[in-house]
Chain A
Amino acid sequence: MSVFSAFLGFLFNLFEPVFRLGQRWLGASRIGWLFVGPNLVIISIFTFLPIVVNLVYAVTGGVNLLPTQRPFTGLENFAILLECRDYADLQTCRTDIFWRSIANTVKFSLIQVALMVFFSLVTALVLNRKIIGRGFWRGVFFYPVLLSPVVVALIWKWLLQNQGVFNAGLVAMGGSPMDWLLDRHWAFFWVIVVSIWAHMGFYTLILLAGLQAIPRDVYEAAEMDAAPPWRVLTRITLPLLMPNLIVVLVLVMIRAVQSFDEVFVLTGGGPGSATTFIVQYIYQTGFAEQIHLYGLAAAASLILAAGLMALTLAQLRLSKAGEAGKIKK
């Protein structure tokens, strides 16, 4: 403990003179700049500057990392990514893997949103009942949220091994073992399952909080109003939960579109490119291939950014609409 406080004392003494000086220079209120300084510097260098530079990458080509050494190519990168002779047949695209990653991402996100919201809602409704040890059960569903995506992927990879426990069950039921992750459809299936397993608890928590905010006497009034359980659910609980549902919907969607870590470790994007999503495409193009195609990666990021912005705007509009009918307590 004393080592800790010695360390703190050291830090304190380290910075104090800097701030005393700053205080004299800047005066009482502008000293605030000194405090917010470090944070501001970091986000400027690592967030705002990159946003601007991203645009430079998107409109330049070549293989150099330094923007100054990259030839200007205009919208060529976008053309490479987006052009297809026949949009119905992805094979005709100049960069069919890009389109495929977009298609995979969209398909994954839509299915994920539906299932994730469903399971989170059901779990939240169950947890909202009067059960013993609610805190414990809540923790049970929340635990996987804390695990790192790599760990999550490995846990499931182990379960899905050819000699693994799932195949053992399959054999016990009379089937024969299969390489789950080497089959296009099963791999996609498991990616969805793993994703829901790993994140459901978080959204359950949000929905549970929303459910618990509904006052009890509204349910009692409904009881006096002879409302059958089905009507209580559809006409009272769900409408009052709607703002939270919308928030969860959008959060899930935004996260789903950016899925990378678990999927990458679980399937590597395979088999083939069956489970390659857009972020993996960006990573591969910009960093993993033999030649780092920074321009394409940047262009793809901008397209992703546009998509995310659209989603965020949709969220804002949806929650504004929700506000109109929302309860102000």
Chain B
Amino acid sequence: MATLELAKVVKTFEKTTIIHGVDLTVSDGEFVVFVGPSGCGKSTLLRIISGLEPASSGDIRIDGQRVNDVSAAHRGCSMVFQSYALYPHMSVYDNMAFGLENLGVAKSIIESKVNAAATLLQLAPLLQRKPTQLSGGQRQRVAIGRSIVREPKLFLFDEPLSNLDAELRVSMRAEIRDLHARLGATMIYVTHDQVEAMTMADKIVVLRAGRIEQVGSPLELYNRPCNQFVAGFIGSPRMNFVPAAEMPGAKAGAQTVGIRPEHAQLSNDGPLQLQVSQVEQLGSTSILHGKVVADAPFELILSGQTSIKRGDTVRVSAPAGQLHYFDQNGLRL
């Protein structure tokens, strides 16, 4: 397996800088997720790692070796594309065997490797079918199988689940996690869905506008987001932000205070007054939507069912340990 180092990687395209100097280390066997809003450069970064796009400057090192000038074919990476990019005219078997054929591997070895991957991914009965005869989830697995068979140093995934329906996405997520556990390979996974990131990653890299905002484990990002952007991006439903002036005892220099909906509590003498505009009763939990001071939107999750209704006003507080303070630049205090 392999380690990956990115040192001051920059990507410019026709006078626009897409990636602004990214530094990153990925250890052997880690499952790293690049996450961020669309246009943040996460796919571009992945393609630079793969070799499909050249970096404008900076170093890319796989297993300590600089690979900037090595072609995509020989970097030892494999890629699962968002659209799967299966060869439509080849059978599942041929799709998976193609890479090994190109390397001149003996037919018998190819056969055993393809069969092993097919068994792992439950594709064995489908080996002679063409991609058009497969369902979305099956095609996804063939794309993954194609990656596995090459036994690459790095597995790269470019938003592989975004074309699947919600239910399938959930089960595929688990399968990919499973795969990682069994193979122990280094995997880099790109997604725009922060839930996917939280559930799958060993380490999350949050990107915005071509820059890394924060790198850390899911819980690190959840508990100690280093800036307002990460705080608002990670966690669902989204963190609430209120002006610091409204919260007594705020840290000096704080401009905004962040409170997660799940940490906000109803309290009779809480500092915030919530004007409820909507109540969602989900049975096991209830979500109150509304506005607090200065028309700031606010959500609150209550356990169980509630009799609070639209138009009510309630008072809200949060435990001191769950308050996140941010200065005027959005940085954590």
Contact = CB atoms under 8 A, between A and B. Distances in A.
Interface in B50-72: 50, 52, 71-72
A255 interface: no
B146 A225 contact: yes
Interface stretch (A47-55, A63-71, A214-222, A286-294): A214-222
Interface stretch (B83-91, B116-124, B212-220, B301-309): B83-91
Contacts of A221: 79, 81, 85-87, 146
Interface stretch (B27-35, B98-106, B272-280, B312-320): B98-106
A24 interface: no
B141 interface: no
B130 interface: yes
Contacts, number: 62
A215 B150 CA distance: 23
Interface stretch (A168-176, A235-243, A312-320): A235-243
Interface stretch (A2-10, A78-86, A226-234, A259-267): A226-234
A224 interface: yes
Contact of B87 (A218, A223, A242): A218
A131 interface: no
Contacts of B333: none
Nearest to B99: A225
B293 interface: no
Contacts of B102: 225-228, 231
A222 B130 CA distance: 17
A260 B85 CA distance: 46
B44 interface: no
A215 B71 CA distance: 21
Nearest to A223: B72
Interface in B158-183: none
Nearest to A227: B102
Contacts of B88: 218, 240, 327
A215 B88 CA distance: 10
B73 interface: yes
Contacts of B89: 239-240, 242, 325, 327
B15 interface: no
Among B74, B86, B98, B146, chain A packs the most CB atoms within 10 A around the CB of B98
A88 B302 CA distance: 98
A130 interface: no
A158 to B, nearest CB: 47
Contacts of B52: 220, 223-224
Nearest to B96: A225
Interface of A: 215, 217-218, 220-228, 231, 235-236, 239-240, 242, 325, 327-328
Interface of B: 50, 52, 71-74, 77-79, 81, 83, 85-89, 98-99, 102-103, 130, 132, 146, 150
20 contacts: A217-B83, A217-B85, A220-B81, A221-B146, A223-B72, A224-B52, A224-B73, A224-B79, A225-B98, A225-B150, A226-B73, A226-B74, A226-B99, A226-B103, A227-B73, A227-B98, A240-B88, A325-B89, A327-B88, A327-B89
